Structure 1
Amino acid sequence: MGTQLGALAWLLVFALSIKLTIAGPADPPSFFRQSAESARKSKPNVLLLRAPSVDQDHASFQQHFQRAATLRRRVLFRRQDSSTDRPSQSSTNPNDKIQSLGLLSGAYDVPLNLSSDPTQLVFVQLDTGSSDLWITSSDCTTRQCENDRVLKFDPLRSSSLQKIEVDAGARLNLTASSFGGNATNSTSGSLSGDGFERRQSSSEGEKAEIPFSIYYDDTTFASGIVVADNISISDLSVPQQVFALINATNVTLGTQGISGVLGLGFPRGSVVSRSLLGYEAQIGSGVKTLPLMTSLLQTSGESYPLFGLYLTRTSGRATFGAVDPFILPTAQERGWVEWYDVYPFPSGDTALPANDTLNIDAQALGPYVQWVLPLRAAGIGGVPATLTRTYQQVAESPLALIDSGSSSIIGPPADVESIFAQIRNSRHVGGGRFVVPCDTTDRMYFSFGGSNLTLLPTDYIIGPDVQQPYLCFAWPAAAQPDATGVGWILGTPFLRAVYTVFSIGINDKEPPKIGFYPLRQPADTTQSSVVFAPQPTAELSSFLAQATSINSVLPNSLVSLQPASSVAYFFGNATATPSVGVTPTIVGAPSTYSAALPAGTGATTGGLPVIASSSKPLPVPSNPAATGGGHGANRAVSQREGHSMWMLTVLTVLVVVVLAIFV
């Protein structure tokens, strides 16, 4: 009997050991997790980079470097650290909001609530470089949509969703690209002609939904249909706001923790707004066809039609209707914000049919397309670089897009080469990419006609090369200018060095403007020794110790930089060319607002509205992509539970067999 019991005990121990062996890797003990974390901290992060290529484009730079954004150490400066402790005298308009932002893989995101019964939460990337809102549908079946950590909008659960449909004979098809996109349709005429009047008529015949597609330079895309639903952001609601509901995409939603993109640009830059001109009678007057931010600032009763962005390496804040009280607590500091008029684009095209959107959009939506400014100067340590305008028809200075949706700084080849010529031992290594000595302490600066806005090396350095760690990749990168005349893209490396305020303008009173407040230098001085003071080596060393290493193959010889190619100007056949600063908007805030922003380049005013100092930023809800939650995590738990149940079954069978044999 002892032998029998011994055999039984041995079988029990054997079965339990099998169960523990299988369960172990799925749920490692705490000391194992700590060891892995320690190993990750001691090993430098490495970003794999393709060999340099002479034809690398804007999107390629973003794609390679964006994944490293969250791995780099946050570098705080005294002004930012102390800002939360300063007193504030501020207004108490309940419609002015301050919202915390999420950050994952270089994308700054904001939560949106869609529909009203029930409300559905999604996260969208904030993008001042585009104008359309698109959100992934639960009907999306492409591989990127199958990521369970991506929150998707379920149209079947929304009682307020409305499909946007127009006369089927128009065969309207919306395609977005770098200049806000375009649309094709079968109607003819102009804004005041017979074709446009047919758009305005309420069709009694067959209607069809409107396809939507957007394509990016890195071959990613999103496609779906145009719909409308109730949308709220930071407790501010817009009923029946138009957006694109996406059912196919290859955008890496899960990596960035987003469900789509919220374009913060102007109505004329929106393919949806431009293409639905004249169809109001068919889709219903209650549907908001302008971009979400325009609709919000027109109707929500904020103190002023503006929004502000404060971005850091780990998070950020957005404000709506007033400025951030933690950055600009006093009237004196608000008076140090310098304002610049947004560049108005030409309109019309004599070579296109009269009913093409390029020939009717500016009449209805005004001349403003993107958050673009003429860039007056740039350089290193106070030494100016040589900047050239991209086209003779454009302003004398090159044009720069202020783009929160880009994790890069990009400029025309000749301009970028002139900037790096001021950094000793810097060189071009191919594909428009430059490296600098990692111990560089010189500041880079950009100016729009007022103060010089400086970036520290910790802002413009990307990371050291793996093989030659004394050389660091740095922004800006060189790339071909856009055919619209935009030669520079100032993305988040620039935006983290300034607090930026965007005003959409007031109808017939005030043009759109951008305000900058420097975060890397005292705002109240122009003394060169202060503005261009080298960064302390201790700060730079600390940053480099945690910076992402880049695995590239640096050439052993000098690589020439390909000059900008000659591309036909997009507005070569324009019928109207407005001037900067003298053209008010016609789709901004209602004229009931009083114009409060100063006129002139780099002008200032202390009369900006500020959110109450007692206000706390609205928190970012839990994002499954960041926390590891979502249905994917639930399935993982179920799989582990399944292994446990299977082993328990095996154990039970073994016990029964042993008892049957020996007892």
Structure 2
Amino acid sequence: MTNMDCAADVALLQKTRGRYKEGRSPENLAPQVQAFTVDPILRRGNDDKMVIVVPMGYRDGLLTNFIEVGEPPELFEVTLDTGNGLAWVPSTKCTSQNCEGQKLYDPSESETALALNHKPLELKYEDGKCATVDLYSESIGLYNDNMDAFTDLSLGAGYKIEGYDDVDGYLGTLGFGGPGGLNVTNYLRKRALDQLFRRGLAKRSIVSQVGGNAGQMGVRTGNQGRYHPDTKKKRDNDEYAAYCIIGGIDPNLIEGDPVYVPLPSAEECGEERFWKLSFDSVTFGNTHIDISEGSYAQFYSSSRYIHAPKQSSKALHEQIGATFNTDSGFYELPCASMQDVPDLQFTFGSQNTASLKPIDWIFPISEGSETCRSFVKHVTVDTNNWLLGTAFTNPYYMVYDYTNEQIGFAHNKGEEVTATFS
């Protein structure tokens, strides 16, 4: 299905607000739209409390959702972003090339938009992306035909947007990068409970058991899109293989118990400790890369890549004979040589080690191609931090735990185990 088809489906959903025309029921819509017409699933979690499992979109290796902005509501597809605490969308003020062909937000057309007399905010991401935004107080909601939006939330209206050249059909973020932004876990919890009430599925005795840890969000994306060296093809995508899990751990989706690593202290990093981990080294075969003191691994759900300091990336790729393609900005190597590529290991806090197989971060440049591309890229700004995007996190069931200030790692149930964490 093309982006144009999907855009038509979205427009129809906006217009009908849940009243589907013949042949246009949710199951007939584009997969990335279907997910947001599906009711959240209520399950018993590992702490004997109920957790809420919300199907999400999965686009280009990223977790996405539609948000409704303003009144009357306008629909925008954005990525879930653990690297930033603010929700933002492109605005009609934007003249950047990255805004061409995108849905644009016009605050003058929204009855609930209130301009905040604040100087423009420049959001600089360490992977080179940048968005300059005007701040508004606005009504924001995750797409659902029965869900009331949250009001008086901070929204960035982006007008200078750079570095999003590889984005196709979606632009903007739903920030989960710190408690100062939109707390996605509490929002999704409210959304799901509201819908369960409306459908008569939630009684007081059950509601009191929902969300043993309301400040905890789990993300399960799984092994979608991985490369099979024997067939040179991607695996089939599971329509609803991407989920947010609210209020605890869903034992139906994981093998064993998560391993948790604490965030840096507030004294070390302040609010920017969400979502970072201290780490000591990266090991790749015979190459041992020491990490500069005071450096961190930042978990970056709005990027599909692993971003490394330039010299570290160079040392890593030299070991496997990969060459840098200046046109594409990627290191490349023959796909046939993947069998000789060692595991990529990260050591966090001197005691926890994450190990990735080559199929987690090396992919063909196109289906059937004999040339593969490494998803470890140079950081484009001056930093010693590593940015761990979905090439790192997708093999795991990830837990972002506000309440206990920690990140958890577990294996996805029912899938081939490639990445390990101990």
Q: 3-state DSSP class of the match of 2:186?
A: helix
Deviation digits for residues 41-76 of structure 1, max 9, x if unmatched?
Answer: xxxxxxxxxxxxxxxxxxxxxxxxxxxxxxxxxxxx
8 Å Cα contact 1:434-1:473 kept in structure 2: yes
How far apart, in 1, do the equivalents of 2:394 and 2:402 lie? 21
Deviation digits for residues 175-218 of structure 1, max 9, x if unmatched?
Answer: 33247xxxxxxxxxxxxxxxxxxxxxxxxxxxxxxxxxxxx836
Where in structure 1 are there 5+ consecutive unaligned residues?
1-87, 167-171, 180-215, 268-289, 348-361, 525-529, 533-600, 603-663
- Partner residue, 2:74: 120
Distance 1:324 1:153, change over 3 A: farther
- Please report how far the alpha carbon of residue 500 of structure 1 lies from its aligned counterpart in structure 2 after TM superposition: 0.9
8 Å Cα contact 1:438-1:464 kept in structure 2: no
How far apart, in 1, do the equivalents of 2:343 and 2:96 lie? 45
- Partner residue, 1:445: 345
Where in structure 2 are there 5+ consecutive unaligned residues?
1-42, 191-209, 226-236
- Partner residue, 1:261: 173
CA RMSD of aligned residues (A): 4.2
- Partner residue, 1:343: 264
Which structure 2 residues correspond to residues 340-379 of structure 1 after superposition, within 5 A? 340-344=261-265, 366-379=270-283
Which structure 2 residues correspond to residues 80-99 of structure 1 after superposition, within 5 A? 89-90=44-45, 96-99=52-55
Q: 3-state DSSP class of the match of 1:165?
A: coil
How far apart, in 2, do the equivalents of 1:225 and 1:344 lie? 29
Give me the TM-score of the superposition, normalised by structure 1: 0.43
8 Å Cα contact 2:82-2:301 kept in structure 1: yes
AA of the residue aligned to 1:260:
G
- Partner residue, 1:461: 362
Residue 231 in structure 1 maps to residue 231 in structure 2:
no
Relative to its length, the structure with more helix (as a share) is: 1
- Partner residue, 1:135: 89
- Partner residue, 1:496: 394
- Partner residue, 1:323: 249
How far apart, in 2, do the equivalents of 1:259 and 1:438 lie? 31
How far apart, in 2, do the equivalents of 1:241 and 1:118 lie? 16
The structure, 1 or 2, with the larger RCO (C-alpha pairs under 8 Å, 6+ apart) is 1
How far apart, in 2, do the equivalents of 1:153 and 1:479 lie? 30
How far apart, in 2, do the equivalents of 1:433 and 1:251 lie? 15
Aligned length: 334
How far apart, in 2, do the equivalents of 1:227 and 1:308 lie? 28
- Please report how far the alpha carbon of residue 501 of structure 1 lies from its aligned counterpart in structure 2 after TM superposition: 1.0
Identity among equivalent pairs (%): 18
Q: 3-state DSSP class of the match of 1:113?
A: strand
Distance 1:472 1:221, change over 3 A: same
Relative to its length, the structure with more strand (as a share) is: 2
The partner residue of 1:307 within 211, 217, 233 is 217
Deviation digits for residues 108-148 of structure 1, max 9, x if unmatched?
Answer: 32111234x5333221112212222112235656665452x
How far apart, in 2, do the equivalents of 1:156 and 1:470 lie? 51
Deviation digits for residues 527-581 of structure 1, max 9, x if unmatched?
Answer: xxx989xxxxxxxxxxxxxxxxxxxxxxxxxxxxxxxxxxxxxxxxxxxxxxxxx
The structure with more radius of gyration: 1
Deviation digits for residues 291-310 of structure 1, max 9, x if unmatched?
Answer: 01268369958431111222
Give me the TM-score of the superposition, normalised by structure 2: 0.64
How far apart, in 2, do the equivalents of 1:404 and 1:477 lie? 15
How far apart, in 1, do the equivalents of 2:49 and 2:109 lie? 34
- Partner residue, 1:208: none
